[in-house]
Amino acid sequence: MLNCIIYVGIKHNGRENMNLAETVVYNLLDDYKNKRSTIYMYSYYSSPRLFHTLNHNGFICIGTLQMNRKNICQEIKKKID
């Protein structure tokens, strides 16, 4: 195990624009920024916004995506249909 966070209530740590799942993932990976690590995620934690943010910080993200998530672009939805 590299890192863990014990949930004691929602804390955004200056990241009010992220939901709880995004904040947890981002905080767990904070020490590994810009090391070109590959992150594999379950659909509960994955979102286009989180993948974009992590990619901007040097991560490669792979994971399943729930199509009912917010901010999924129409281009992705059309490819699935």
User: pLDDT 10s digit of each residue in the chain, 81 long?
Assistant: 677 777 777 665 666 778 888 888 888 888 888 888 999 988 888 888 888 899 999 999 998 888 777 777 777 777 666
- HEC string of the chain equals CCCCCCCCCCCCCCCCCCCHHHHHHHHHCHHHCCCCCEEEECCCCCCHHHHHHHHHCCCEEEECCCCCCCCCCHHHHHHHC
Instruction: Answer whether residue 1 is part of any domain.
Output: no
Domain annotation covers residue 57: yes
62 in a structural domain: yes
Tell me how many domains the chain contains: 1
Query: What was the pLDDT predicted at 40?
Result: 92
User: What global pTM score does this model have?
Assistant: 0.72
Whether 35 maps to a domain, the answer reads yes
4 in a structural domain = no
Q: Has residue 70 been placed in a domain?
A: yes
Q: What is the span of the domain harbouring residue 67?
A: 20-80
